[in-house]
Amino acid sequence: MGLFDRFKLTAEAAPSANSDVLASLAPLPSIDSLYPFFGLAHDATREQAMSVPTVARGRGIICSSIASIPIQLRDRSTGETIDPPRVFNTPDPRVPGSATYVWTAEDLLFYGFAYWRITELYADTFRVRSVERIAPDRVTIQTNSLSTEILYYSVDGYAVPNNGVGSLVVFYGNDEGLLNRAGSTIRTGAELERAAAMYAREPMPTMVLKSNGASLPADRISKLLESWGQARRNRSTAFLNADVTLDAVGFDPEKLQLAAARSYISTELARALGIPAYFVDAPTGSSMTYSNATLARQNLLDFSLIPLMTSIEERLSMPDFCPSSQRAKFNLDEYLRGSAFERAQVYEILNRIGAITPDEIRQKEDLLL
């Protein structure tokens, strides 16, 4: 073995770029997506994002809503519904399917990518039978010299194959992810939350106790501050002798307009999440009326859920999950289900024109005996 052979990539260290890639994603759409892969941190961290109530609530609504909607297989030519294999609604048999989809939707929302690792294939079709979700911060990539193509992926620093068991199923998001796209706004919101917590512990402006006599040793100062803090938590009125004076430094929360700043950031983060502000209780310019309250779910679907759902649907419609004659589709019937009165009106019209039978109505309403 020559000296330079030591620096060559082995088959175990780097899978061949010429392999038939079915479960991985080769093109790299944007240099913005490379931040975590090249050792650079995201503009904001997940911990910072989830410490802001607006982001936490928005994430819960968006991701939990997607996870609650079942996935169907449909024939592309006839539109007929087909019972999907287990992997579609329970991707990882060790956990409920909703748990896998919640974290997959969050990864797409926060990072712009989501990853599943294939753990099992069908022996006859070699299609995916089961997977496990892989957190995006565990994944790194090796690109070509132009950073336009991904040569192979690594998980926890170990290269994974480009196809078969152990390879990655890659879900493409629509942008570089919330943590990059709105990182500065998230960091501002996290700082405001910390400021609010600080003023909750110390509701007065920063106070300075000044000794008018001889300099006190460190232990005496520590005991004085401790007794002062304890006394203020029990009683608002204080007494100082002639040896100590009190000075106030800084501003109180009202003068800092802390509440107004937090309201402003809440509205901006609702915009960044792509969710109507009233869903996260962020201040809006208009009040919510009955007419738009009845359309709230449709608005959430149109503006927040569809982009993430489309990314999931199209990836699950690729040949490593189902035949090319079929496609995966979220079943929105239950999610957009109206009130009993509204459904009765629709059924009455459909039955009158002969589009649906009474037995089919009973089946849709679970009224069959």
pLDDT in tens, 153-208: 999 999 999 889 999 999 998 888 999 888 889 999 888 888 777 766 655 556 77
Comparing C-alpha atoms, which of 170, 156, 152, 155 is closest to residue 114? 170
For the cut 70, the answer to whether the pLDDT of residue 308 exceeds it is yes
In a domain, 150, yes or no: yes
pLDDT digits (tens, 9 = 90+) for 331-365: 888 777 766 777 787 788 888 888 888 888 887 77
The answer on 217 and 70 residing in a single domain is no
In a domain, 318, yes or no: yes
User: pLDDT at position 10, please?
Assistant: 42
Q: Is the pTM of this model over 0.75?
A: no
The answer on 311 and 350 residing in a single domain is no
User: pLDDT at position 192, please?
Assistant: 85
In a domain, 18, yes or no: yes
- CATH number for 314: 1.20.1270.210
Show Cβ contacts of residue 327 under 8 Å, excluding neighbours closer than 6 positions: 73, 74, 76, 313, 317
In a domain, 2, yes or no: no
Show Cβ contacts of residue 94 under 8 Å, excluding neighbours closer than 6 positions: 132
Residue with the larger pLDDT of the pair 27 and 58 = 58
For the cut 70, the answer to whether the pLDDT of residue 280 exceeds it is yes
The answer on 360 and 214 residing in a single domain is no
Show Cβ contacts of residue 133 under 8 Å, excluding neighbours closer than 6 positions: 91, 92, 100, 103, 104, 107, 114, 115, 116, 117
For the ranges 151-160, 173-182, 277-286, 320-329, which has the lowest average pLDDT?
277-286
Question: Binning pLDDT at 50, 70 and 90, where does residue 109 land?
Answer: very high
In a domain, 241, yes or no: yes
The answer on 261 and 124 residing in a single domain is yes
CB 186 within 8 A of CB 178: yes
DSSP assignment, residue 108?
A: H
Return d(Cα 328, Cα 169) in angstroms, integer: 15
Cβ neighbours, 10 Å, residue 111 = 24
Q: How many domains does the chain have?
A: 3
For the cut 60, the answer to whether the pLDDT of residue 7 exceeds it is no
In a domain, 361, yes or no: yes
The answer on 210 and 322 residing in a single domain is no
The answer on 349 and 274 residing in a single domain is no
CB 332 within 8 A of CB 68: no
The answer on 107 and 53 residing in a single domain is yes
User: pLDDT at position 3, please?
Assistant: 46
Domain extent, residue 87, equals: 10-203+252-337
Return d(Cα 203, Cα 209) in angstroms, integer: 16
Domain boundary among 194, 215, 249: 249
The answer on 330 and 197 residing in a single domain is yes
The answer on 330 and 350 residing in a single domain is no
In a domain, 153, yes or no: yes
In a domain, 5, yes or no: no
The answer on 197 and 325 residing in a single domain is yes
The answer on 42 and 134 residing in a single domain is yes
Comparing C-alpha atoms, which of 270, 111, 251 is closest to residue 189? 270
The answer on 131 and 78 residing in a single domain is yes
